[in-house]
Amino acid sequence: LSELKAKTSVLVRGTSHSGTVQYKFKNIYHLKDKLANTIFGDIGDGDIIPMIRKNNPQIIFHLAAIAYVPYSFEHPREVYHVNVLGTLNVLDAAKELEHLERVVVTSSSEIYGTAQSDRIDENHPLNPSSPYAASKVAADRYAYAYWNTYHLPIAIIRPFNFYGPRHIYDVIPKFIRMVLNEQPPTIHGTGEQSRDLTYVSDIVDAFLIMGSHPKA
């Protein structure tokens, strides 16, 4: 958005992960001179609500989350605090905005759990298999409830894995490094399953469409 010269504010969230804030901001440091405002805070804290209202955004892209699944097994309450209460804070702030056009809430493919068919669409049953996935189900359904109850202009996106520059050491970068080191990439399961992998610029395009298209 900032590269498209839109007036953009960003909330940089920190957690108990060592170095998380620095890493998160490092990912967007090259845009610092193009950002209208940078806010540092805990999205799970109610104090974030007046900060959002003060900025009075037209479009909110809500991506803040603890997204590392293994971490959720040891820290389910922290994951709930950030992913569920954080989403509620964003939605509550959005209710009071004067010029709101859209809230794009980032859910996750993890909410589906093990696929019950060859293809997964929006009607696939929700079957979370981790505290992280459960938190994303709760946030997803709260977003739907706020759309249904308060008629907030909300769109929910449930992305699968995406990859690209400045990606953390996760699935795709890990596979690339293993192949470059002549190591076989480890795939869980039978190896016969398939999964959508989306390049980061394509997922950005999807977010922009979700934030602007009248039918999103």
Provide the annotated active-site residues.
132
Dist CA 107 CA 71 (whole Å): 18
The amino acid that residue 6 corresponds to is: A
DSSP 4-71: GT---EEEEE--SSTTHHHHHHHHHGGGGGG-SEEEEE-TTSTTHHHHHHHH--SEEEE------HHH
104 burial (CB, 10 Å; 0-12 / 13-18 / 19+) is: buried
Residue 8 · residue 1 · CB < 8 Å: yes
- Taking the CB of residue 167, how many other CB atoms lie within 10 A of it? 16
